[in-house]
Chains A and B, each alone.
Chain A
Amino acid sequence: MKTYPKICLTTFAVLVTGCASSPPPQQSQIYIPPPTIVKYGDSQSIETVTADFGSTDLQTITETMVRSMLQSKTIQNSKSAPTVTLAEVKNQTGESINTRMITEKVRTQLLKSGQVRFAVSSNEMQSQVDELKRQNQSGMYRNDGISKTGMMEGAKYRITGTISTIVKQNRDMKDVFYNFTLNLVNNQTGLIEWAEEKEIRKTVTR
Chain B
Amino acid sequence: MKEQNVQVDDSLGVQSLMKLFLLKATTLVIVSAVLSTLSGCTTAPPPPSEKQLMTTRMGDTSAVEVIDMRSVMRNNILTAQVTVKNWGPPPNPKTGEKQPDSKLYGYRFKWLNAGGMVVFTDEAWKPLTLTRDQSADLVGVAPTPDATAFRFEINQYK
Contact = CB atoms under 8 A, between A and B. Distances in A.
A59 B143 contact: no
A73 interface: yes
Interface residues of B, number: 23
B125 A71 contact: no
Interface stretch (B85-93, B94-102, B116-124): B116-124
Contacts of A42: 125
Contacts of A67: 77, 140-143
Interface stretch (A9-17, A94-102, A106-114, A146-154): A106-114
Given A71-B79, A112-B144, A45 B127 contact: no
A60 interface: yes
B125 A56 contact: yes
B157 A46 contact: yes
B75 A76 contact: yes
B126 interface: yes
Contacts of B127: 46, 56
A112 B121 CA distance: 10
A76 B141 CA distance: 14
Contact of A56 (B104, B122, B124): B124
A68 interface: yes
A112 B120 contact: yes
Contacts, number: 58
B2 interface: no
Nearest to B75: A76
Contact of B77 (A48, A59, A70): A70
A44 B143 contact: no
A66 interface: yes
B139 to A, nearest CB: 9
B75 A71 contact: yes
Contacts of A76: 75-77
Contacts of B122: 44
Contacts of B108: 44
A108 B124 CA distance: 15
7 contacts: A44-B123, A56-B125, A56-B126, A59-B123, A63-B123, A68-B141, A70-B77
Given A42-B125, A70-B141, A113-B145, 14 more contacts: A44-B108, A44-B124, A45-B106, A45-B125, A45-B157, A46-B126, A46-B127, A56-B127, A63-B123, A67-B140, A67-B142, A68-B141, A71-B75, A71-B77
Interface of A: 42, 44-46, 48, 55-56, 59-60, 63, 66-68, 70-73, 76, 109, 112-115
